[in-house]
């Protein structure tokens, strides 16, 4: 369901998606770690693809990880960088992450809030400093996180269904 600027509500058919990217209701943001949240936008269980906004309200290292498939992103607010690269992704930056590359996402101290749109296929593999896998996320773990969170905050576990294709 989508509510436009004039307050009209439109129920989405399964073949369409029309979302206000940054929600008015903070309950839509799913906690992922302390001061780290995601907002699902598209969860494709057939291809393993998901699109979401990542919001971080703290500075420091977020995670060391890799993806087996390419990742595309667009910074909507704030900035961040990877320790493995000399560039900084700032508001308006387009980001491409090649498959298999290990990177460590860091939000600098002078950034109070970062929001980035990510388009991810496959999984996200979390690694320790010795490059050993310590966890993973995929479209199904994302859906499970959403169901639990939305039930807890009163939106209902089926709230996530609008994002699943």
Q: Is residue 101 part of a domain?
A: yes
Domain of 108 in residue numbering reads as 25-163
**What pLDDT score does 19 carry?**
56
Please indicate, yes or no, if residue 98 is contained in any of the structural domains. yes
Return the CA Rg of the chain: 16
Q: What is the pLDDT of residue 3?
A: 39
Write down the pLDDT at residue 5. 39
3-state SS, residue 81: strand
CATH assignment at residue 116 = 2.60.120.10
Output the pLDDT for position 14: 45
CA distance 1 to 43: 15
Give tens-digit pLDDT for 55-86. Answer: 999 999 999 999 999 999 999 999 999 999 99
Sheet containing 88-90: give its strands across: 88-90, 79-82, 103-107, 60-66, 124-127, 133-137
61 lies in some domain: yes
Does residue 11 fall inside a structural domain?
no
137 belongs to a structural domain: yes
Confirm whether 15 is domain-assigned.
Answer: no
Partners of 115 in beta bridges: 55, 77
Supply the pLDDT for residue 20.
Answer: 72
As a whole number of angstroms, the distance between CA 106 and CA 92 comes to 17
C-alpha span between 30 and 144 (Å, rounded): 11
3-state secondary structure of 27: helix
The pLDDT tens digits along the chain (165 residues) read 443 334 445 454 444 545 578 888 999 999 999 999 999 999 999 999 999 999 999 999 999 999 999 999 999 999 999 999 999 999 999 999 999 999 999 999 999 999 999 999 999 999 999 999 999 999 999 999 999 999 999 999 999 999 998
- How many domains, in total, are found in the chain? 1
Q: Could you tell me if residue 77 is inside a domain?
A: yes
């Amino acid at each position: 369901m989508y509510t436009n600027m004039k307050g009209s509500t439109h129920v989405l058919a399964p073949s369409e998606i029309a979302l206000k990217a940054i929600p008015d209701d903070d309950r839509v943001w799913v906690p992922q770690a302390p001061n780290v949240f995601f907002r699902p936008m598209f969860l494709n269980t057939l291809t393993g693809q998901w699109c979401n906004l990542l919001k971080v309200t703290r500075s420091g290292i977020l995670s060391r990880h890799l993806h087996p498939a390419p990742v595309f992103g667009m910074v909507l607010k704030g900035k961040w960088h990877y320790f493995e690269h000399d560039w900084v992704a700032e508001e308006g930056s387009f980001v491409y992450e090649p498959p298999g590359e290990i990177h460590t996402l860091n939000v600098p101290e002078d950034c109070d809030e970062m929001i980035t749109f990510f388009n991810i296929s496959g999984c996200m593999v979390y690694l320790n400093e010795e490059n050993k896998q310590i966890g993973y996320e995929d479209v199904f773990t994302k859906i499970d996180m959403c169901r639990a969170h939305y039930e807890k905050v009163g939106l209902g576990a089926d709230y996530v269904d609008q994002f699943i294709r």
